[in-house]
Each structure stands twice: as C-alpha cells, then as structure tokens.
C-alpha cells in the first residue's frame, strides 16, 4: 500500500464522521452515534470506501487513549474518592449479573451443561464476554452533555474502570482453569501492584509536574510532557501489569487532574482529539464490522445475547446503585451508562477463541452488542437526562 492512501482514508473518515455527527445532533442524538454510523457506512458492510489498516488501528487506539486521558484529567479527585467504595460495589454487581446471565443464556439456547464440562466452560465464557464495560462512549456522551464531572459521571467512570479490572481477573480465572499457563493469583497480584505503582509514582510525578507548571505556567511543554506520561502509562499498564492501556491512560489523567494547569492540558488534548483521533476511533468501531456473513440461527442467538448483555448490566449496576441510595432515575442512568461494550469485549472473545473455548461465529454477537450498545447508550442517556432536567443531585 502506498503511504499517501492514508490521506484518502483520513479525509473520508473526517468528512463522513463530521457530516453524520452534525446530522445526529440535529436529530437530538449524541454526535458519537453519527460517527459510529459513519464508520459502518464507509466500511466493509456498505460502501467499502475505507479498509482497516495497521495505521488506522493505531490512530483509533491513540484516539481512545486520549479520550480516557481527558476523562481522567477532567476528574474531580475529591468526588472520585467519595464515590470510590460505591463504584466498587456497582462494578462487582455489574460483573456478576452479566456473568450469570450470559451463562444461562447459552445453556438456554444449547441445553444445560454439567459443572466442569467443556460446554459449561463455554457457557461461562459467554458470560465473561458480557462483563467488560467499555466506558469511552459513555464518557464522550456525558462530556457532550456537560455531565461528566457530576456525581453520576464520576461514579460511572470509576465503576467502569474497576469493572475492567474485575473483568480481567475473572477472565484470567476462567482461562486459568483450562490452560495451566496463566496464573490467577499472579493477575490479582499484578493488578494490585499496578495501583500501588500508580499511587507512588503518580504522587512523585504529580509533584514534579506541579513544579514544572509553577516555573513555566501555560507553556507548551506542560501538555507535551503530560501526553508522554499518558502514553507511558498506557503502555506500562498493558505491558507490565496486563491491564488495559485505556485504564493506564485514565490513571495518568487522574494523577494530573489536580495540577493547576490541568484544564489547559485538557484543552490542548481535546483539539487533537476532536480534529482527528476521535473521529477515527468512533468510525473504526463501524469499520471493524462486516454484516455480510450472518445467518438465521446466529442472528437469533445474537439478538438474545445483546438483550441479555444490556439488561443484565442495567439491572446489576442499577440495582446496586439503588441499594447505595441513588435516586431511581440516577440508578437508571448509571445502569445505562455501564451497559456499553467496546473493544475489551472483542479482546475477551479473541482470548476465548485462542484457548478453544469459543467458536468464531460468536464474534458476530459481540460486534452486534458493541454496535447496539454504542448507539443506544448515548441516545438513552440523553433521553434520561432530558426527562430528569434539573433533578440530578450533583
């Protein structure tokens, strides 16, 4: 492939994403929905204008990492510490209910499976796929509505991060029963170590950044070094601790969120994000999809899969939120905000494929879940907030 063809891809993505983003906003839907639909349209499902490439995948990955970094930067640290314990409970319940629901769905479709059998593990694995919340779409929608910093926004974001970690631990446990290579105990340990590292290194880095910021306020070097820190954390999280790169980026953002110039840094990040990396990320979700090879029985299972996956998250997270004394409307917002799935679900499915627990046809279900949840979450969130105007307890 010639290098210059990246410019064709980028031009098409930017134009379509912008056009459908504006169209979505005119229809009172969030802009990201338009961008995902744009990706579907230009991708292999409809117009075949743009193909996935290593370059575009990289750009999309930078896009989602920047998004999570911005979300971290935008965090109100006091609010986070206050919502932490509640978020933990919500996340636990948001993992457990889909895990059980997904397993039961599989058994409902293909018959009950005795404990410990091959089929049993496959059923559990279908549940595991349902556990991973992908918060980036929710974050983008909440930000668009100006609700990211509130109590609900912070609760959802931190619950999703914790959910991500728990999901990875569960995955490792399930895989661990099958392949002796992975060690669940080590996963728990390295996760623990990551957060200890983040705390210690984070505090030191925060002091250093604060120092640079005091000496050279509002200079370019602050956002540039911050960006390097974000990339370093994204890399280190995944490479050395087995934690998703987006979690690393979010933690990097939290480290810097109390810095005096954090909004200046965020503002600079946002320009790159909305100009180029953001549209590429959202469009790439649609680009990854090919709806050609779907048949009837898979479609039926997939529809059940999507319904169960969405409902179990809403019920699991929403119920726990209600138990934690959120208002019913706010509990619903949290449940809906947690129901988005993204590339983590795909990664989990990929893992299941590689250890022989899953057949490739289930990818269709996962992709359908990602698309339906990515499109419906922002719309539902917007509706919920519109219905509840002025009612949110901030």
Of residues 120 and 232, the one with the C-beta less far from its own copies: 232
The verdict on 14 binding its own copies (CB under 8 A) reads: yes
Tokens of 278: 């953001």
**Nearer to its own copies among residue 3 and residue 181 (C-beta):** 3
* Closer by beta carbon to its own copies, 264 or else 301: 264
**Member of 35, 61, 261, 266 binding its own copies (CB under 8 A):** 61
Residue from the set 24, 62, 71, 309 that interacts with its own copies by CB under 8 A? 62
Nearest to its own copies of 8, 387 (CB atom): 8
Q: Does 245 bind its own copies (CB under 8 A)?
A: yes
How far is it, in rounded angstroms, from Cα 281 to Cα 35?
9
Evaluate whether 250 touches 195 at the Cβ level (below 8 Å).
no
Nearest to 146 by CA among 306, 315, 309, 386: 386
**23 near its own copies, rule: CB under 8 A:** no
Q: Which stretch binds its own copies (CB under 8 A): 51-59, 92-100, 118-126, 379-387?
A: 51-59
- Tell me the residue length of the chain: 394
Give the shortest CB-276-to-its own copies separation in angstroms.
6
Distance CA 227, CA 327 (A): 38
Q: Indicate the angle between helix axes 151-178 and 343-354, nearest 10 degrees.
A: 0
Query: In degrees rounded to 5, what are phi and psi of residue 49?
Result: -80, -35
Residue choice 88, 109, 206, 274 for contact with its own copies (CB under 8 A): 274
Min CB(73)–its own copies separation in Å: 14
Segments in the chain forming alpha helices (H): 5-26, 31-42, 54-73, 77-110, 118-131, 136-144, 151-178, 184-215, 221-241, 245-256, 262-272, 278-287, 296-323, 328-337, 343-354, 362-387
In angstroms, the Cα distances linking 153 to 217, 311, 393 are 29, 20, 11
| Residue number with CB closer to its own copies (202 or 337) | 202
Structural contact between residues 106 and 122, judged by C-beta atoms closer than 8 angstroms: yes
Q: Which is nearer to its own copies, 195 or 235 (CB)?
A: 235
Minimum CB distance to its own copies smaller for 227 or for 339: 227
Nearer to its own copies, 35 or 74 (CB): 35
Q: Does 303 bind its own copies (CB under 8 A)?
A: no
Binder to its own copies among 25, 45, 49, 57 (CB under 8 A)?
Answer: 57
Is the backbone of residue 111 left (phi > 0), alpha (psi -120 to 50) or beta?
Answer: left
Q: Which listed residue (100, 225, 311, 379) binds its own copies by CB under 8 A?
A: 225
**Does residue 4 belong to the site contacting its own copies (CB under 8 A)?**
yes
Binding region for its own copies (CB under 8 A)? 2-8, 10-11, 14-15, 18, 22, 53-55, 57-59, 61-62, 65, 220-221, 223-225, 227-229, 231-232, 234-235, 238-239, 245, 268-269, 271-272, 274-276, 279
């Amino acid at each position: 492939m010639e290098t210059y063809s990246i410019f064709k891809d980028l031009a098409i993505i930017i134009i379509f994403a912008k056009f459908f983003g504006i169209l979505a906003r005119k229809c009172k839907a969030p802009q990201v929905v338009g961008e995902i639909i744009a990706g579907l349209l230009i991708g292999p499902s409809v117009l075949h204008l743009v193909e996935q490439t290593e370059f575009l995948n990289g750009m999309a990955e930078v896009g989602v990492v920047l998004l999570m970094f911005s979300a971290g930067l935008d965090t109100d640290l006091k609010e986070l510490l206050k919502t932490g314990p509640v978020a933990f409970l919500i996340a636990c319940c948001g993992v457990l209910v889909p895990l059980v629901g997904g397993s039961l769905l599989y058994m409902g479709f293909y018959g009950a499976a005795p404990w410990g059998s091959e089929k049993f593990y496959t059923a559990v694995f279908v549940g595991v796929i349902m556990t991973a919340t992908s918060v980036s779409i929710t974050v983008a929608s909440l930000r668009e509505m100006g609700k990211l910093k509130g109590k609900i926004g912070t609760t959802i974001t931190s619950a999703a991060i914790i959910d991500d970690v728990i999901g990875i631990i569960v995955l490792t446990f399930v895989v661990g029963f099958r392949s002796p290579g992975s060690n669940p105990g080590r996963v728990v340990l390295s996760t623990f170590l990551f957060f200890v590292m983040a705390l210690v290194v984070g505090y030191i880095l925060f002091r250093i950044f604060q120092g640079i910021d005091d000496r050279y306020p509002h200079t370019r070097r602050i956002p540039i070094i911050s960006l390097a820190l974000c990339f370093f954390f994204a890399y280190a999280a995944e490479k050395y601790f087995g934690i998703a790169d987006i979690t690393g980026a979010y933690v990097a953002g939290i480290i810097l969120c109390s810095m005096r110039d954090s909004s200046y840094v965020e503002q600079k990040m946002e320009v790159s994000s909305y100009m180029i990396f953001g549209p590429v990320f959202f469009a790439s979700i649609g680009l990854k999809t090919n709806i050609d090879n779907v048949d009837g029985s898979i479609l039926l299972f997939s529809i059940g899969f999507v319904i169960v996956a969405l409902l179990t998250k809403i019920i699991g997270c929403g119920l726990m939120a209600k138990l934690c004394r959120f208002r019913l409307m706010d509990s619903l917002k949290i449940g809906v905000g947690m129901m988005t799935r993204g590339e983590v679900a795909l990664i989990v499915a990929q893992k299941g494929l590689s250890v022989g627990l899953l057949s490739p046809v289930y990818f269709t279900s996962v992709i359908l879940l990602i698309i339906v949840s990515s499109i419906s979450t922002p719309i539902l969130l917007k509706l919920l907030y519109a219905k509840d105007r002025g009612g949110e307890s901030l």
